[in-house]
Chains A and B, each alone.
Chain A
């Protein structure tokens, strides 16, 4: 097998040491070496830049530089060094060696151990290490570029969702408003049947609006732009409001919706609007999967002192969730993946948004269920969780 050409730069102020190195490397088994020589750090650096050698062997003690200063001067960014550097040490000083390796040397060799074998192996190792490092660097750059591209596309999708939402909401508003105008009798008298049908049309508009809002939330979650605005809030108020809001839906489905709120709950730091969204989502799901005559209960209790915080449980008497689905229902686009088997309506984004909103509050969300008997969705809210997040964010900013 023919040897690979290798241009080696040897930097040493001692002429005989330089010649020994050349001599030893001429017998290298793998490389056909040619040599460039420099007798000072300065001329060595000039040659590194002008001649672009494949490998550099440098004496740690030069008249103008020591090995570390040489490495520092050569390139501030060591990962970008175009060639490996082998440091020759005179004293076998471990401190020097460690520092040189940290500063970017590929290998080191005490001068008194120089031999065809040792120097040859040092060069081979250094070249191999260097090539691996280059390959790794190339992969890293590729990964970084791909990542940046994905982020850019995600941003694009997010912007597109916003435009889409705006473009759909405007006609949706007009449609909903004209339906409401007719229902309210502003376009002449209507009969009960007409009003009932128009009521369905208006509700459909509202459902479409909720779907669009979910889409926007998911786009925000994907780009890390969904932020919560926590304020000290009474959980009881939020739960009561959510239950009141869902009562009409419960009534029309003939389901008994009620709340059980422990008295004297502590106020929590939360984004009330977002927690409302979680509650209405969970209650809405419970109502959707519970047959008429069933029950949906929202229970709020204080967690034991060692855990602290509040536990919310939304319990239904619906058909329950199969064990293999329980962990997956919180996943993004769960519905899209499962749609081929059973389509339940909705985009399947609701529980994913719930999970992310609870996570942003540093709480937990999970489901317990018995097939045929019903499901209970639980979530916890820690008392100071959110303020801890904002403190951590501030720390990150200040460092």
Chain B
């Protein structure tokens, strides 16, 4: 079972993603801030990371940089999801090698499709 790390400071969004991703047969783990994100990433070795951008204690870009700089997490595919609407964010995400960038509110069908494609599977329950 493929595992997805969700890094997001809003627990309601974590809860919603949790329902969606589990329904699609993915295992999930969550972190509510940037520091915890690294601990979780190293401990769980996820197959993909969903990163919020605006979070207390370091934004999603910082998490992405740390993931990239750590040998065991350097190649995890990253998807950014943000409620920020500013020019340049998408470009920054791309520069960090993110495979996708979603604005909140996102269309979960599109998000799941990107995840499925990245993990090369039609998830099985």
- Give chain A's interface residues, CB within 8 Å of chain B: 162, 165-166, 169-174, 176-178, 180-181, 186-187, 205-206, 209, 213, 216, 227
Chain B positions 1-29 with a Cβ under 8 Å from a chain A Cβ: 10, 12-13, 15-17, 19-20, 23
Decide: A174 near B12, CB < 8 A? Known: A162-B86, A206-B105, A209-B105. Answer: yes
A177 to B85, Cβ gap below 8 A?
Answer: no
- Give chain B's interface residues, CB within 8 Å of chain A: 10, 12-13, 15-17, 19-20, 23, 54, 83-87, 104-106, 108
B19 to A169, Cβ gap below 8 A?
Answer: no
List A contacts of B16 (CB < 8 A): 173-174, 177-178, 181
List B contacts of A162 (CB < 8 A): 84-86
* Interchain CB contact (< 8 A) of B54 among A166, A205, A213, A227: A166
B87 to A170, Cβ gap below 8 A?
Answer: no
B20 to A186, Cβ gap below 8 A?
Answer: yes
A176 to B105, Cβ gap below 8 A?
Answer: yes
List A contacts of B85 (CB < 8 A): 162, 165, 213, 216
The minimal Cβ–Cβ distance linking B59 to chain A, given in whole angstroms, is 12
List B contacts of A171 (CB < 8 A): 10, 12
A186 to B105, Cβ gap below 8 A?
Answer: no
The contact sample of 17 A-B pairs, CB cut-off 8 A, is A166-B54, A169-B83, A169-B105, A170-B10, A170-B13, A171-B10, A172-B104, A173-B16, A173-B83, A174-B13, A177-B13, A177-B20, A180-B108, A181-B16, A186-B20, A187-B19, A209-B105
B83 to A166, Cβ gap below 8 A?
Answer: yes
List A contacts of B17 (CB < 8 A): 177
List B contacts of A177 (CB < 8 A): 13, 16-17, 20, 105, 108
List A contacts of B10 (CB < 8 A): 170-171, 174
The residue in chain B whose Cβ has the minimal distance to the Cβ of A178 is B16
Q: Which 3 A-B pairs have the closest CB atoms?
A: A174-B12, A169-B83, A177-B16
The residue in chain B whose Cβ has the minimal distance to the Cβ of A168 is B83
Give the distance in Å from the alpha carbon of A45 to the alpha carbon of B20 in the complex.
81
Give the distance in Å from the alpha carbon of A165 to the alpha carbon of B86 in the complex.
11
The minimal Cβ–Cβ distance linking B114 to chain A, given in whole angstroms, is 16
Give the one of B85, B104, B105 with max A CB within 10 A: B105
The residue in chain A whose Cβ has the minimal distance to the Cβ of B107 is A180
The residue in chain B whose Cβ has the minimal distance to the Cβ of A179 is B16
The minimal Cβ–Cβ distance linking A201 to chain B, given in whole angstroms, is 13
Give the distance in Å from the alpha carbon of A178 to the alpha carbon of B11 in the complex.
13
A173 to B105, Cβ gap below 8 A?
Answer: yes
List B contacts of A165 (CB < 8 A): 83, 85
A166 to B84, Cβ gap below 8 A?
Answer: yes
Give the distance in Å from the alpha carbon of A206 to the alpha carbon of B108 in the complex.
13
B83 to A170, Cβ gap below 8 A?
Answer: yes
Give the distance in Å from the alpha carbon of A338 to the alpha carbon of B85 in the complex.
30
List B contacts of A172 (CB < 8 A): 104-105
The minimal Cβ–Cβ distance linking B46 to chain A, given in whole angstroms, is 21
Decide: A181 near B105, CB < 8 A? Known: A169-B83, A174-B12. Answer: no
Give the one of A162, A165, A176, A216 with max B CB within 10 A: A176
The residue in chain A whose Cβ has the minimal distance to the Cβ of B16 is A177
B23 to A173, Cβ gap below 8 A?
Answer: no
Give the distance in Å from the alpha carbon of A300 to the alpha carbon of B13 in the complex.
42
